[in-house]
Amino acid sequence: MPKPSADDDRNLPVNDKVDTSDIPELDDDFFERAELRLPAKQTVTMRLDSDVLAWFKAQGAGYQTRINQLLRQYMEARQRR
């Protein structure tokens, strides 16, 4: 799953017509009991074209995470078909 960035909220569309008055505030108790569940990671060996791997590595640290994000997006798009 992608890590949230500091500007994620700025990218959300604004809709002032949505009535949120019936949504309760999340209190400290909610966050104390909340559990973060991330998909399990599995180490794999994968053969990639050398130019593809070089391009991802040139993007800097976290290239494996970015490859995983792209593969997840592809998987989810195929599942919606």
Q: Structure pTM?
A: 0.55
The answer to whether 74 and 36 are in contact (CB under 8 A) is no
The burial of 69, by beta-carbon neighbours within 10 Å (0-12 exposed, 13-18 middle, 19 or more buried), is given as: middle
CB atoms within 10 A of CB 1: 11
- The structural domains of the chain, with segments of one domain joined by +, span 42-81
Query: pLDDT tens digit string along 40-71?
Result: 999 999 999 999 999 999 999 999 999 999 99
Query: pLDDT tens digit string along 4-51?
Result: 666 666 677 777 788 888 998 999 999 999 998 888 999 999 999 999
The set of residues, in sequence order, having a beta carbon less than 8 Å from that of 1 and lying 6+ positions away, is: 38, 39, 72
